[in-house]
Amino acid sequence: MESVWRQKAPRNLTANQKTEKLNKDTKYESDVSNITMPFYAKKRSVGVTAQEEATYKTAKETLWSDYLAWAISYELYEEVTPTQQQAEAEDGLNFQLVEVNRIRTELGMKHLLIKEKV
C-alpha cells in the first residue's frame, strides 16, 4: 500500500494559499475546457480516431498531473501514510460498530463484536 495525497481543508489554508489555489483552479478549469470542448464537438459531429482520443486523454492527464504537482509543492495537499490510512479506517469501523450496537440494543438484539484474526 502506498501513501496517498489528500487535499487540505480550506480552513487549514493560509490566505495566500487560498488566493493562489483559486487562480490556479481557474487556469486549470480553463485549460481543461479548451481541450475538452473542441474534442467533444468533433466527437459528436464527425467522430474521432483512436489516436485523437488517446491524445486528448493524455493531454487531460498531463494537465491534472501538472496541477497536482503544483498543489503538492504549494502544500495544498498532505501525504497520508498507509499507517494513517489504516488508523482512519479502523476509527470509522469502530464508530460504525458503536452505532450498529446502539440500534441492536433498541431492537433487543445482541451486540456485534469484531475480533482480530490471528
pLDDT tens string 9-58? 999 999 999 999 999 999 999 999 999 999 999 999 999 999 999 999 99
Does the pTM surpass 0.85? The reply is: no
Whole-number Å distance between alpha carbons of 38 and 44:
10
Same domain for 51 and 72: yes
Domain assignment of residue 16, given as a range: 4-80
pLDDT of residue 116: 86
Whole-number Å distance between alpha carbons of 114 and 41:
53
Same domain for 72 and 53: yes
Same domain for 69 and 39: yes
Closest CA to 31 of 70, 59, 65, 58: 59
pLDDT of residue 117: 86
Same domain for 101 and 49: no
Domain tally for the chain? 2
Residue 7: DSSP 8-state? E
